[in-house]
A and B are shown apart, each in its own frame.
Chain A
Amino acid sequence: MPGSLLSIDVLLIAAAAWLAIGLCGLLAPRNTAFISRLLFPLGAVVGIGMGVAALNALGGDAQTAVLVIGLPDLPFHLRLDNLSAVFALLLGFASAGISIYAAGYFRKGEGAAPGVLCLEYHLFLASMLMVLLADDAYAFMVAWETMALSSFFLVTTDHKHEEIRRAGFLYLLIAHIGAIGILLSFGVMTGGAGDYSFAAMRTQELAPFWSSAAFLLALAGFGAKAGLVPLHVWLPEAHPAAPSPVSAMMSGVMLKTAIYGLLRVSFDLLHTTIWWWGVVALVVGLITALFGVLYATVQNDMKRLLAYSSIENIGLIAVGIGLTLIFHAYRMEGLAALAMTAVLYHCLAHAGFKSLLFLCTGSVLHATRERSLGKLGGLIHHMPWVAWLALAGVIASTGLPPLSGFVSEWLLLQSFLFSPGLPHPWLNMVVPVAAALVVLVAALAGFAMVKFYGIIFLGQMREPALKDAHDAGAWEKLGLVWLALITLFLGVMPSTVILRIDAATRQLLGSGLADKLNENGWWMLAPISPERASYEPLLVLVTIAAALLMGRWLVRHLYHGRVRRSSAWDCGYHFEGPRAQDTAEGFSQPIRRIFEPMFRMERHFPAARDTKPFYSVKVEDHFWYWCYLPIARLANWISTLIVTLQGGRIAVYLMYSFITLIVLLLVARP
């Protein structure tokens, strides 16, 4: 049917289908089989269809539509261009895996009724899609708020627990601080013309002061959603509170909508770029990345660890955006395109591997009812599927070849590396130091991920109850395999992927990498030229695999394959209980020691004469004490002042009304 059905129509149908699926959940809210076996897989199918449609839209012209809903005279303007298409692609394919997984995840008797959950979940998906499609500030904000609210209800699924309610409220609060920033940013960008469509903002010529204000407001607003320091505090609270598919969706996909918004504002709506915006984004990104990864290494709760790791990844993405802004401001388009590709690629890669890891923690949680690393261990024996798939996520997340995380890291480092020649003396100094920090962050991520994997899946079981752990069910496995395949595909086929998403880079910057990549084969990633830098992940994978298999075959044939089992040697120590191995706290002790000032620690050491000696350490976030608690105390103090007005006596209140009336009469006299 040529020409009859545009991609944007398909996407709108997908949004409507998600809504319909969600509403179907209300038909039989307690019927778990109906909802998880039918509705969630249907949602996954819609996700795949939507992703394919977005893939088709890449490289084409922007498509627009007007949806006559909402207020009279204020319809929703929608537009699907290459930037939206890249993120819609991410939403479609990542959500497909998560939905399939969710089909096997939600059970009876856990939190809210499955039907309600189904509605919230699919509303969340549809609202994220509408955020990507919105072409005026009104539609954008409506979708943005729907996304925040639906995810709030998803986070508080298990609302009977006090801490989960608190996490939810914190999330809602910071989401709304962010929303205010975004709203104000849109207000500045209209330039007082009163036309809130993005098309009008694009043509608006703003003074440098006002465009900087708009950029900073957008950075703060979208930064609150993405988790940039110091607005990151909701992430480590909300992610552990939410059910795992929801954590996966929020971390893998929702954070990316904030990145989308930031890119949309900084490169599309504000068409002039000032170089120091890039420096601001770069510095905030570096602080976020370093902070996130350091805190990730010292966490003892597996989902909090992943949440901090998400903060780190968002920081790296912000570093990439900062670099792009700097290069773009100095009209170094080739490098800007390289950095932008790194940003987009990292968004895709992170959506894959972080969703995968969060879902793996979900399976572990179901199998063991335990989130604390100190009570896990040895799960690879009972959950081999989850363990091996999680290993793929861990390697990608550590940024190691040949999986997806390495490609974006490689691109980011390449754009750092070829940066000399910026026409600004001290920027030339800052950029290599920033590169050094990015490298340090990447290396620390390895430590955090080895801790995550080693403590959960390897070693001896730390609790006897872990013997009853079971592997993930068929639906869960299917979802995990899907996401692992995405991670593998993004890892070994970077050129193919970059050629598709290059349309978005070209739309935002005016130049892309496609011409350079087309000069070489699909297997080679050489963004500048093969002499300067190249990477062929498929060959890396094949060589390692070939050496591995040939080594194995040769050893078997030349010698033998005999294996005996015995108890562990451990240098002859016979005490081999599970408590002899490292705890989660013990594993991160070197980090706590080396980076001591970075943490706020409460430690208890055993004294010489303790009858019951114990060691405990509690690591807290500095930002609570530097930033949030003072604000909370201030708010409390102001409220105690206001309380004096509220004596609780009706006569006093009547007097207030009377005085107000008199004052109004005096002021409002004609």
Chain B
Amino acid sequence: MISIAGLLGQTFAILLALVLAPLLSGWVGQCRAWFQSRTAPPLLLPYYMLQKLFKKDVVLAHNASSLFRAAPFVIFGCMVLACAIVPTLSTDLPFAPAADALALVGVFGLARVFISLAGMDIGTSFGTLGGRREMLVGFLAEPALLMVIFTLAMIAQSTSLATIVETLAHRDLVIYPSLAFAGVAFTIVSLAENARVPVDNPATHLELTMIHEAMILEYSGRHLALIEWAASLKLYAYSCLGLALFFPWGIAGGDSFLALLAAIPLLLLKLAIGGAILAGIETVNAKMRIFRAPEFLGIAFMLAVLGLLVRLLLETRI
């Protein structure tokens, strides 16, 4: 039942994710610099960073425990799995039945719990602060994300990502108002989950408002490299998820080689546009106070629930 072609496609998708993810981060950074009239760093900067960090020694704090050392690998593993499940080029993924959309949210949740625990492990003031805030953002963002997925799952009558994407990609041009609500909610959630600007700032240190950076302050060397790589994989997975859910055109349905080849430039184009939009959002917004974040994410939750209700009440014939 698992075809060789499917397995090859799956492996290719994972490798593509591993390669493309740092590039996407670099691209967003570059666009951001352009928008802000700064000289842009090289596009390949994330790769140089990874290379440099892998070469360096790991410096562990004296009371770092085994969990602290295991966490980067667990988080990396979770993100690889997430990238394997999200349909990027084709919906014919042998791993797709392993986890549907709900399980995908669970996998992200697992990574979040591990990174928060790792942040608390050394017992520094910033680490615990980051862990607490990460869980705060998590419990606000996760329900909103699940409500978005519920809306889409009701449209497609399925929680399997492959089925959702196929249904949405091959529909007639019907406009679903619920999708608009879900789309806005999803954007807000992705900003929060990926530690982007209105909620967190990926480019900051030494700021009392940092979340993601606060948790990983004590990491160095290969551990830090893996966490950075995992973070860019997460951004990649979220971008691909958003593209697959809201702009699914061009994702190959079967395992035909040509369709797969055609899907690659389309994916690159979509990611480039998406990254530029993300950089735009980050440029025009200011970082908000931490206790504004619940309101911001509460809006996402409300919009997602509204989308679900719109779907149920307006779009279904009872």
Contact = CB atoms under 8 A, between A and B. Distances in A.
A587 B125 CA distance: 11
Size range of the interface on A?
Answer: 35 or more
B74 A458 contact: no
Contacts of A400: 106, 109-110, 113
A559 B61 CA distance: 21
B98 A543 contact: yes
| Residue among B112, B131, B206 with the highest chain A CB neighbour number at 10 A | B131
A401 B109 CA distance: 9
A540 B163 contact: no
Contact of A440 (B64, B139, B318): B139
Contacts of B128: 454, 459, 581-582, 586-587
B238 interface: no
B133 interface: yes
Nearest to A528: B158
B95 A539 contact: yes
Interface stretch (B37-45, B239-247, B276-284, B308-316): B308-316
DSSP class of A's interface residues: helix, strand, loop or mixed?
helix
Interface of A: 377-378, 380-381, 384, 387-388, 391, 394-395, 398-401, 406, 410, 413-414, 416-418, 420-421, 425, 428-429, 432-433, 435-436, 439-440, 442-444, 446-447, 449-451, 453-455, 458-460, 524, 526, 530-536, 539-540, 543-548, 551-552, 555, 558-560, 562-571, 573, 576, 578, 580-582, 586-587, 589-591, 593-594
A535 B305 contact: no
Nearest to A559: B54
| Residue among B106, B126, B291, B318 with the highest chain A CB neighbour number at 10 A | B106
Interface stretch (B145-153, B193-201, B261-269): B145-153
Contacts of A524: 97
B163 A581 contact: no
Given A439-B146, A443-B142, A562-B57, A413 B65 contact: no
Size range of the interface on B?
Answer: 35 or more
Contact of B58 (A380, A563, A591): A563
B81 A458 contact: no
Contacts of B63: 378, 381, 460, 568
Contacts of A526: 97
DSSP class of B's interface residues: helix, strand, loop or mixed?
helix
B236 interface: no
B176 to A, nearest CB: 15
Contact of B103 (A406, A435, A581): A406
A429 B306 CA distance: 11
Given A544-B77, A570-B125, A535 B103 contact: yes
The 5 closest A-B pairs by CB, nearest first: A459-B123, A460-B123, A582-B128, A547-B77, A568-B61
B46 to A, nearest CB: 17
B205 interface: yes
Contact of A436 (B133, B205, B305): B305
A447 B54 CA distance: 32
Contacts of A594: 294
B120 A454 contact: yes
B61 A571 contact: no
Nearest to A573: B125
B60 A565 contact: yes
| Residue among A555, A573, A591 with the highest chain B CB neighbour number at 10 A | A555
Given A432-B308, A436-B301, A535-B98, A562 B58 contact: yes
Contacts of A551: 73, 76-77, 226
A568 B124 contact: yes
Nearest to B225: A555
A413 B139 contact: no
Nearest to B104: A401
Contacts of B217: 569-571
A443 B125 contact: no
A559 B102 CA distance: 36
A534 B100 contact: yes
